[in-house]
Amino acid sequence: MTEMANYDVIVLGTGPAGLQAAIHAARKKVSVLVMGKETKSSLFHAHVENFCCLFNVSGQDMLDVGRQQAAKFGAQMLEEDVLSVTSNGSLFKMVTESGQELECKSLIVATGTARNKLGVAGEKEYLGKGVSYCVECDANFYKGEEVAVVGGASAAVSGALTLLGYARTVHLVCEELEVADVLKTQLKQSAVVIRENAKVKEIVGQTSVEGLVLDDGSKLEVSGVFIELGAKGLMELATHLGVRLDDEMKYIETNKKMETNIPGVFAAGDICGPPWQMAKAVGEGCVAGLNAATYAKKLSA
C-alpha cells in the first residue's frame, strides 16, 4: 500500500460535470484530484450540436480540452476507479483499484447514472429474483450459495472478492480483465473461479435464477448473478457514506449548492437526475466545485 495522499477536493468522474467542478475548485486555489477514466464518460462517444456557443464538436475533443483546462488551473488526474469511500471524522478516505489510499476534505460525486445492462434473455425477468446490479447491497442474500459476477472492470473484480465472504463458490465471467495489476493479482490469488474470454448468452430459471448459459453452450448452476460492467457505482459508494438518494433509489438528492445530506459531500450531473443534458451537468459542476472548495478552505482555516 502506498503512502496516503491528501487533497482538499477529490472529484469522482471525468465527464463534463466532474471536469467543470475541478476547474472551478482549482481556480479557488485548493488542491484537486479528478478520478476516473475518460473513455467511460457518456460524452466520450457523443457528437455535440446543442451546447451553447459550440457547434458540431465531438465529445472526446470536449473532454480533452476540459482535462487540459483543469490541469492548467492545478488539478491532478488519476485514471483509476475507486473501490471504497469511507468517512474518517471530517475527512473522506478512498482506496483505488491499484491500492492507493487517498484522503480529502470535500468530495464531489459526478459519476453519471448509467447501469450497464447485459441485454440478454432473463436479465429483466429475474431482476430482484437472482439478478442484481449491486454486490454490496445484496451479497448477504447468497450465504453458502453459488453465484456469478459478470464483468471485467473494477466493480466486477471487487464484487467477486467481496462475495467470497458470503457465497460458497464465486464465478467471474468476462471477456477480458481490465483492472490495475494490483487488483488483478489479488483476484488471481483468490478462490474466485475466473472464466475469461466468455460471454453470457442467457440467464435461466423458473421463478428465480437457476443458471447462466455462456456463449460456448456451457452452463453455470448459480442462484445469483451480479452484473457489474463498469466502475464502482453510485449504490456501492453511497451505501458506505450514507448519502441520501431519491425515493426510487436512482439519484442523489442535493440542495441548490449541490450539497448532499452528508457535510462535505457534493454531487453534480446526471447522478442528480434528469434532464440528461451537458448544459445542466456543467452548471451543476460549477456550483459543486465552488462550494466544495469553500467547504475545504473552511476546514483548513
Q: Residue 115: its pLDDT value, please?
A: 58
- Least confident stretch, 160-164, 179-183, 185-189, 294-298: 179-183
Q: Residue 3: its pLDDT value, please?
A: 67
Q: Residue 233: its pLDDT value, please?
A: 64
Q: Residue 84: its pLDDT value, please?
A: 87
Across the chain, mean pLDDT equals 91
Q: Residue 234: its pLDDT value, please?
A: 61
Residue 154 has pLDDT above 70, yes or no: yes
Rounded to the nearest 10°, the torsion over CA 186, 178, 267, 261 is -30
- pLDDT tier at 231, thresholds 50, 70, 90: low
DSSP code of residue 33: E
Residue 218 has pLDDT above 70, yes or no: yes
The three-class DSSP label of residue 93 is strand
CA max distance for the chain: 63
Q: Residue 128: its pLDDT value, please?
A: 85
- pLDDT tier at 1, thresholds 50, 70, 90: very low
Q: What is the CA radius of gyration of the chain?
A: 20
Residue 136 has pLDDT above 70, yes or no: yes
The dihedral region occupied by 44, where left means phi > 0, alpha psi between -120 and 50, and beta the remainder, is alpha
Q: Does residue 230 or residue 21 have the better pLDDT?
A: 21
Distance CA 105, CA 199 (A): 41
DSSP code of residue 288: H
Q: Does residue 229 or residue 79 have the better pLDDT?
A: 79
Distance CA 16, CA 285 (A): 8
Q: Does residue 42 or residue 132 have the better pLDDT?
A: 132
The three-class DSSP label of residue 172 is strand
- Least confident stretch, 7-16, 38-47, 192-201, 252-261: 38-47
- Least confident stretch, 76-85, 160-169, 190-199, 284-293: 76-85
- pLDDT tier at 144, thresholds 50, 70, 90: very high
- Three-state SS for 47-74 is EECCCCCCCCEEHHHHHHHHHHHHHHCC
